[in-house]
Amino acid sequence: MKTALLPPELLRRLEQIQLLAARRAKSTARGERRSRARGVSVEFADYRNYVVGDDLRHLDWNLFGRLDRLFLKLYEEERELPVRIFLDASESMNFGTPRKFDFARQVAAAMGYVALCGFDRVSFHVFPDPQAQDSQALIAYNQQMAVRGALRSVRGKKSAMQFFTNITALTSGGAADFNAALKRGALEARQTGVAVVLSDFLDPNGYEAGLTALVGRGFQVHAVQLLAPEELEPSAFGDLRLIDAETGAQQEVTFGKYRLKAYQQSVASFIQRLREYCQPRGIQFFSVSSATDLSDLLLKQLKESEVWS
C-alpha cells in the first residue's frame, strides 16, 4: 500500500503488531479482543452449573464422567477495542523543521493503522476546530470539517487508504484549549479503551485537567510529547523578539549562548514534571523530537514500553 505518510516497508512491519490493552475490551461490537462478556469463541473462560434450556453442545462430558454432574463450558467473547487518538492541531504545532504537526500525523497514522489491522475501531479527535472568517475560508472550513468527521469512526484494514488520505488532508492552526478538548473527548466516549494524545503540551493552562479526565473515565492513556529540534536546542542568539504563535503576544529578550544551558535545563524540567505527573496515574509518557527516526519510535521505543507487541 502506498501512502505519503508512511513508507510501504514500515506499513508491512506495522501489520504484524497488535496494541496491548491492560484492561479488557468492553465494546459491544465484535472484534478480536478478549472481553468479560461470555459468548462463543475459542478462548475458554469458566464453568457453571447446567440449567434446563442451556445449549447441550457446550456441556463438558469429560467432567460429567468424573463428577456425575452437568457443567456448561463458558467462553470469552471477542470484542473490539476502541482507540481514540487526540491530535493537537494548534498553531504551535506548525513550528519546527521537521514540522511538529507533520511528525504527529505520521505517528497518528501508524497507531491508527495498527488498530485497524487488529479490527479495532479508531476515532480521531483533532483540536482546535478550524475557523472560517470569510467566504473563501468557509470552503476550506467545510472541507476540513468533512475530513475530521470522516475520521471520527473508522474500522477495518480495508478503510486504511481513505484513512491515510484524510489524515494527510488535516490542517493545523489557531489557539487550542488542551484541557477542554480532552475533557470533551472523555465525556463523548460511549466505551473506553486506549487513548493516544499527540501534542507538544505547551498550553499555558497546563495539561493536568485534560489527562485526568481521560484517566478518570477509564482510558488507558499514552501521551506522546513532540518538540521541535529548535525548541530543544535553539540556534538563534542575540536580541530577539519572541511572538506567541497562538496568542500573538510579543516579548523582546536578549538570548546569548551563555544562557543556552539554563534554557535547556528549563526544558528538561518541564518534560520531567510532565513525566512525573503521568507516571503515578498509569499514563505511558514519551517525549520525542520531531526529527526522531519514525521507525525507531514505533518499532523500538513503543515496543519496549509495551504499547504494542
Quick one: which of 178, 286, 267, 308 has its CA closest to 226? 286
Question: Which carries the bigger pLDDT value, residue 198 or residue 140?
Answer: 198
Domain 8-25+81-304, CATH among 3.40.50.300, 3.60.21.10, 3.40.50.150, 3.40.50.410 = 3.40.50.410
Question: Which carries the bigger pLDDT value, residue 151 or residue 36?
Answer: 151
**pTM for the model:** 0.81
Give the domain ranges of the chain: 8-25+81-304, 31-79
Across residues 235-241, what is the average pLDDT? 77
Question: Which carries the bigger pLDDT value, residue 210 or residue 119?
Answer: 210
- For β-strands 121-127 and 194-199, DSSP reports them as unpaired
Chain mean pLDDT for the chain: 87
CB 60 within 8 A of CB 73: yes
What is the per-residue pLDDT for 218? Answer: 95
Across residues 49-71, what is the average pLDDT? 85
Residue 23 in this model has a pLDDT that exceeds 70:
no
What is the per-residue pLDDT for 201? Answer: 98
Query: Sorting pLDDT into bands at 50, 70 and 90, what band is 77?
Result: low
Hey, what's the cell of 47?
Answer: 464453568
Residue 176 in this model has a pLDDT that exceeds 60:
yes
The proportion of the chain whose per-residue pLDDT surpasses 70, expressed as a percent, equals 89
What is the per-residue pLDDT for 2? Answer: 45
Question: Which carries the bigger pLDDT value, residue 202 or residue 52?
Answer: 202
Residue 14 in this model has a pLDDT that exceeds 80:
yes
What is the per-residue pLDDT for 43? Answer: 57
Q: What is the pLDDT of residues 262-282, one digit of tens each?
A: 889 999 999 999 999 999 999
What is the per-residue pLDDT for 169? Answer: 96
**Per-range mean pLDDT, top range of 60-69, 87-96, 125-134:** 87-96
- For β-strands 82-88 and 194-199, DSSP reports them as parallel
What is the per-residue pLDDT for 159? Answer: 94
